[in-house]
Amino acid sequence: MKNFWQKIEKPFFVLAPMYDVTDEAFRAMFVKYSKKSKQGSWPLVLFTEFVSADGLVSKAGQLKLLRELYFTEEEHPIVAQIFGARPENIEKATKLIKELGFDGVDINMGCPDKTIEKQGAGAGLIKKPELAKEIILAAKRGAGLMPVSIKTRLGYNKINLPWLKTILETKPAAMTVHLRTRKEMSLSVAHWEIFPEIVQMAKSAGVIIIGNGDVVEVSKGLVKSRESGADGIMIGRGAFGRPWLFSKTKTKLAPRECLEIMKEQTEKFWELYGPTTTNQKLFGGHQKNFAIMKKHFKAYASGFPGSSDLRVRLMSASNPKEVKKILEKEKISQ
């Protein structure tokens, strides 16, 4: 298996892995409106939402969690993100991911969620660098030639460059750094001023380096990449409600176009994760709560006259038919 991280055109962009967000319905919109845009697209890597390695290797959890790892051929290159604190399960989960045909596996070492940290995973690993190294090496054993990457933060309570050096010692294929500490969550300004130093550390180790934090536009990402020397830029919150974001010419769509894409994503979500024959066939009836779509409604229905009232009505919808009915009553001229 080729290391796509080395071959992808640079600078590239990454759609951030976000829990209950970057499912296949969401990613499919980026395939259609960014990757397959007639205007061309910036090089783009897609990630799944993160999945528990412990759950993936258990009989009880595997079938349900495989739902989160469903992807289509059009999504390549695509990386599966996992979390966990048991090297043996990380190795087994990585083997499974390789068998599923992913282009890479990413280990989450930055999630600040307390339930994840209680397991010793996510940002909790920043406080256990030796265990973090064991986990990366275990993933490499399971991955074979499939590249292993890491997503982490600058540190736990304070900026901790030795932590990043520890990760780089294991020679992951790529490393994404969310330029805040765990303590800062997403509340402070991202520390792009120190990223050039981190970039040099990574490049000296032969590791692809990706920056993340406060970038919501491709244009800003290109500037950050040029200023820091980063190979890639990861965008998360800025991608909500904007699946055309990585298209080379589309910067903004008219409200009506946005709402049509929203409806399309809603229908795709329902087909995959609702009470449908597709869901039964693919995932054995393991559905997702339709309420997950509400965060997308909020993003799509924004910034035009009457959008706040529309959002209120959309929040009451419980299926695509109700969404369609609400939109049909809207009088949006543009």
User: Quick one: angle between helices 161-169 and 195-204, nearest 10?
Assistant: 20
Contact 79, 149 (CB under 8 A): yes
How many Cα atoms within 13 Å fall on the side-chain side of residue 103? 22
What is the C-alpha separation between 128 and 120, in angstroms, rounded?
9
Calpha distance 199→161 (Å, rounded): 11
Query: Residue holding tokens 């909790």?
Result: 124
Task: For residue 111, indicate whether it is catalytic.
Answer: yes
Distance CA 203, CA 62 (A): 37
Which pair of structure tokens corresponds to residue 293? Answer: 């779509």
Partners of 13 in beta bridges? 44, 233
Q: Are 121 and 85 in contact (CB under 8 A)?
A: yes
Give the containing element (helix H, strand E) for 153: strand 148-153
List the catalytic residue out of 56, 111, 198, 209: 111
Nearest to 266 by CA among 322, 332, 330: 322
Nearest to 49 by CA among 178, 238, 214, 236: 236
Give the N- to C-terminal CA distance of the chain in Å, as an integer: 47
The DSSP call for residue 42 is -
Which residue, 89, 90, 53, is CA-closest to 68? 53
Dihedral angle over CA of 280, 18, 73, 101, nearest 10:
-90
> Which residues are tagged catalytic?
111
